[in-house]
A and B are shown apart, each in its own frame.
Chain A
Amino acid sequence: MHSKKNSPVRNFFRAVGAIIWKDLSTEFRSRELLSAVLIFALLVILIFNFALELDVKTRTSVTSGVLWVTFAFAGTIGLNRSMAVEKDRGCLEGLLLAPVDRSAIYFGKAISNLAFMLIIEAIILPVYSLLYNTNLFNLGLIGVILLGSVGYVAVGTLLASMAVQTRTRDVLLPILLFPVVIPIMIAAVKASNGFLQGIAITELMPYINLLLVYDVIFIAVAFMVFDYVVEE
């Protein structure tokens, strides 16, 4: 019975949707990971507060940096956990047995990782705004956070899938990931800072372009190479 409902394309999207639904349901039910990562992020901000002696003047120039470092670290925890769930009960095999293209697994996991990261960021922004009496509700800033997170998660999902299959697991992911996402950190921090300081968008275009290029290249590479990481 091969009705239109069963076309490979529809199956692909259905599978991606199923994976996203599964990840988000699991997380919303227990909210373990969400709380853990949030508390971690808040602690990082706290540490920065004391480590950097933020007076009002220095604070504005350093805000973007602090935010992105927080996102980067909190991100690795989320990525690790997301892939560990599949590895621990052998569920990855369950996904591999499904009659869909492997890239559906990649996109499903990447999108749910992205959703997770965006939720964290959406909570941290207002909290930071409150703590430091700065207005972070800036459309440009939000755009940059979106672009940066996409690139981070694109590479992160791929590398996390590898890291989780090695002996050194949790420790390995940040080591693999950070050197490779430096372009995102640079461009995102500069662009965020630019938007917060009210610099004209035309001057920030190089950074935004960089983020776009990075995102496109690495989403393409990651999804092409994902097969090699999950298949024997």
Chain B
Amino acid sequence: MIEVHKLIKRFGLKTVLRGIEFKVQPGEFVALLGPNGSGKTTFLHILATLSKPSIGEIRIAGFQLPSQASSVRQQLGVVTHQPLLYGDLTAEENLLFYGRMYAIPDIGNRIAEVLGMIGLFARRRDLVRTFSRGMQQRLAIGRAVLHNPDVMLFDEPYTGLDQDASTMLDDVLQTVASHGRTVVMTSHDLARAEDLATRFDILSRGVITASIHREELGQDNLLSFYRQALTE
């Protein structure tokens, strides 16, 4: 589903990603872990077509990036640090806007469906400005799922959420992931990642230093695996 080969990304004179090899099969849920500054956000931005690689080959859902970027976008759902929502529009209007941008058919029903899934149907007529961070995050996921993408990318979705909001987010993520979608999620929060993901990759200083499937972890604790990968 996702194939990344020899990805290098430079910003001016600084090299942030130094040759990444990354493959994801359809339906996998990959948690991308790593310390600050390792390049996780940059990597996700490139997968999301928001940024172009300096060197490297990337294929998502059979499309080549960056040349076929607009075709890929139809198949991508992205949630970043920022909610990407318009505060002065209602939840419904936000989804309506994105629905039009993605040319979604039968938009009215689809919006109702998504609002139900994220538990915001009751507040659909309220301005997003009045939502808590947790609610905005859920709506952001709703936005990302609206066009039924095959691939979902999450960049630190739990940032700034309290316990209740985090638990709700867990549920939403489970639902989202369960439809056979391919998911890549970056996270600081190892505990949450451990529950959701089927595979764990460690990104350190611009390269992927380790990768392990959930079954292989077995007795080991994810935390010790993580620490070990970083010291190597």
Contact = CB atoms under 8 A, between A and B. Distances in A.
A and B touch in the complex (CB under 8 A): yes
Interface of A: 1, 5-6, 10-11, 14-15, 17-18, 21-22, 25-26, 29-30, 85, 89-91, 93-101, 231-232
Size category of the binding interface on chain B: 20 to 34
7 contacts: A93-B78, A94-B85, A94-B98, A98-B101, A99-B71, A99-B103, A100-B101
Given A97-B48, A97-B73, A99-B102, A89 B85 contact: yes
B84 A91 contact: yes
B49 interface: yes
A14 to B, nearest CB: 6
Contacts of B87: 89
Which 6 pairs, one residue from A and one from B, show the smallest C-beta to C-beta distance?
Answer: A90-B82, A94-B84, A18-B100, A99-B73, A98-B101, A232-B51
Contacts of A10: 103
Given A18-B101, A89-B82, A232-B52, A98 B73 contact: yes
B15 interface: no
Interface of B: 45, 48-52, 70-71, 73-74, 76, 78, 80-89, 93, 97-98, 100-103, 105, 143
Contacts of B81: 90
A77 to B, nearest CB: 17
Nearest to A105: B101
B136 to A, nearest CB: 9
Contacts of A17: 100
A231 B30 CA distance: 27
A232 B45 contact: yes
A48 B102 CA distance: 48
A165 B211 CA distance: 37
